[in-house]
Amino acid sequence: MKNIVIAGICLCFSSAFAQKITDTLVSKKLNQEREITIGLPASYAQNPTKKYPLVVVLDGDYLFDAFQGVLNYGAYWDDFPETILVGITQNKNDERSYDCSADEMSGLPDSESKKFFEFIGLELMPALEKEFRIAPLKIIAGHDITAGFINFYLYKNQPLFDGYISLSPQLANGMTEQLPQRLTEIQKQLFYYQATADGDLKSIQQSTKLLDENIVALHSATLNYKYDEFKGLSHYSLVPQAIPSALYQFFALYQPISMNEFNDKIVVLPSGYVDYLTQKYELLEKTLHIEIPIRVNDFKAIEAAILKNKQYEEFGKLAEISDKYYPKSMLSDYHLGMMYENMGEFKKAAKAYQKAYQKQDIGNLTKDMMLDKSEELMKK
């Protein structure tokens, strides 16, 4: 990948949104150069130690921009983590038909597609991991014949990817039976999405429906699975609908606490709101291998649940957690002040707010607010 280092340096001097690199990788497996497109997160240069999940898209000629738009949008609203996106060009010389062909009898990669299979696993992925800071979470996506091809990685005992986005897949012989069985045998957490539409090719509609039925029947405990059947869409028009559906499914754990989550899962609890918060982020790290500080707005959601249910002693536990993640801010002392104030211990509350006044503002909490609360409570 001879141009990547030079292009990466240039990114530091360009717009924060100029994160798209086109390069070639010399492949011994394919005996040719293969064009790839790389999209780096806007924050990549500013965070020299941070690692990012990887999304690899086949049919990069037309899927790269579609995925990049959705990924950038989700990251802007903090619904998705920032990711590294890599697209493999396959349509220059009708490469996709050779890259992703399958033996009609065995249903496995034939002599040509085996080369492409090994190109991704033995050449592209090591080159990317050497050049870029890639987190453990890796996703692959394809459309039509390339969507069927990505399933071959699930035939391995240790699948190369953790997430699979299969858009209107052309499935190889025997895949509707073999793939569900493999999904139950693989022990690690997997994400799998497939989509078709009522205007899709009839053969694809039938095979994806059968695959869906077989996957659902096996009840895999380690599989996060979703199947979409879109109405009024075609083999091609389903793609821009399916991409966000898949990614929002995969990254549901990453998303901040929503109003629905607050109303349906948190505020209805009799207690244990702080435990819910910490377990949410522990599950995020365990499942998606993403470790981030607890968001300030998620702290606010737990504050609201504590107040609504009058479980004021939980503010003490919340203060311990907020001190862990934001030790220089006033958040921890604010939580102690809230506990004492609502339990009627006004002098202790006033002292906590005074201590908060000496620390950094955070979110909508300000020094003026802490001073006002302290002065008001000192009068009681």
For residue 20, the model assigns a pLDDT of 85
Would you state the structure tokens that stand for residue 358, as one six-digit string? 């000496």
Return d(Cα 255, Cα 332) in angstroms, integer. Answer: 23
Tokens 């005074």 belong to 354
Q: Return the ∠ at Cα 147 (arms to 142 and 152), rounded to 5°.
A: 115
Tokens 């990669």 belong to 109
How would you write the pLDDT of the chain (380 residues) with one tens digit per residue? 544 433 333 333 333 344 788 999 999 999 999 999 999 998 999 999 999 999 999 999 999 999 999 999 999 999 999 999 999 999 866 788 899 999 988 999 999 999 999 999 999 999 999 999 999 999 999 999 999 999 999 999 899 999 999 999 999 999 999 999 999 899 899 999 999 999 999 999 999 999 999 999 988 889 999 999 999 999 999 999 999 999 999 999 999 999 999 999 999 999 999 999 999 999 999 999 999 999 999 999 999 999 999 999 999 999 999 999 999 999 999 999 999 999 999 999 999 999 999 999 999 999 999 999 999 998 87
For residue 93, the model assigns a pLDDT of 66
- The total of other beta-carbon atoms located within 10 Å of residue 211's CB is 23
For residue 171, the model assigns a pLDDT of 96
For residue 219, the model assigns a pLDDT of 84
For residue 218, the model assigns a pLDDT of 87
Would you state the structure tokens that stand for residue 220, as one six-digit string? 């895999």
Backbone phi, then psi, for 142, in 5-degree steps? -160, 170
Q: Could you give the C-alpha distances from 77 to 201, 215, 243, in angstroms and in order?
A: 35, 32, 17
For residue 193, the model assigns a pLDDT of 98
Does the predicted model carry a pTM greater than 0.85? Answer: yes
Instruction: Report the candidate in 29, 24, 34 with the shortest Cα–Cα distance to residue 116.
Output: 29
Is 36 within 8 Å of 21 (Cβ atoms)? no
Return d(Cα 57, Cα 21) in angstroms, integer. Answer: 15
